[in-house]
Chains A and B, each alone.
Chain A
Amino acid sequence: MELPNGEIDTSPIVDFCRAVVSRHAESWPPKEETLAEEFVQWLGLKPFSTRDQLIGLCLTKKVTVSFVELPLELRGFNCSFENRTEIVIAQRETVPGADLHTLLHEFRELLENAFVELGYTTLGADDFLEVQAEHFAMSARMAIITTEIPAFARFVQNAEARWARYLGYGVLGFLGIMYLLSCVFMPQLEEIESEVKRQRYIRT
């Protein structure tokens, strides 16, 4: 993108999208899961990152992320103008993992803007960006944990006592399943959580 002062914008997001296009141009668009995996690798996302870690990570890609008080129905917001890109996420505490889900959702919308700019939209006539972004967020959270599973498994494997290994595998399996369920059902979990809060509010 050309800036008003004549400089060319070297947005990392556009660069990433350009690379995705070059890899998948022949079978465009790539599957949402593939795009999510490549994105996770590109951004270097790790499981259980803190808000500060997420802010720092996004800043390396020239995306300013902030957590602020937002109107009740607004979970996240993204915008870009010239060479500035911002993502704002609701500060209120919700379901664990919801912050990351919203961040990924907002990133998917930013990616689509870049794909459109490059002339390679990923959306078909019947597709909705909101739906694709939710799918992307879910896939990306799954990709984050699946890349880390071998490291966790190696850690458990190194335990000396047999009982410790069994216990480790048990805990690892349980946490893994819980995490994957939270990826798939995040929108529903958020709904339940906000419904519980509303009921509490109505009662008071």
Chain B
Amino acid sequence: MKIEVSRVSETSVIIYLGHSIDLTLIDKIALFSHTVQNRYHGKLYEVIPSYTTLLIEFHPLKVDAEELITWCQQQVKEILSAKALPSENKLVTFPVYYHPEVAPDLERVAQDRQMTIEQLVKLHSAKEYTVCAIGFAPGFAFLGSVDPKIATPRHNEPRLKVAKGSVGIADQQTAIYPQQSPGGWQIIGNCPVDLFNIDHDPMMPFDVGDKVRFEPVSRERFLQLGGVI
């Protein structure tokens, strides 16, 4: 595909690395994001990866936009054509209590997919997910992709209140709500671990490109870990 690097504003450029969501692209974007930050250390305001793009916001007196664009084109070409990539990605496992008492949509999603709750839990916790993007709210990670057998669209009307730690599904994506917030995802479990804590360093346990697994835990273990019912 044609790599598109283009100026967005006086202080930013965006790089389009693909035109459709593709999990293999996420690792490449994560790697590219790290490479950019190393090369232009102290000269950038933000580097924001997403599914198919990287947005770079730079200091216009410290970075020459043309130089940055030329370098990005070269760099992306190399990264996209590389067979094996050096990976800094880590695997993080989160405990999840899958039970209707913390998961208002669990029974219905299982019913709609014509399976038992056990089968649904098994499918959800069997996969290793990729952190594709972080946004919507602090620490909210879009994880791809769930087994098509359990992919479920969002609620038509978002709930005004989704509990902190809620594990949800929206189409082929899954995520944990770091804070109580409004939200339309189908809630199938709850994770008792803090996902976003400004007193922690780093404040989030993952970055774009990292892998995530869910481990089903008992009610007792959930409460031990600080879970709230």
Q: Do A and B bind each other?
A: no
* B residues lining the A interface (CB < 8 Å): none
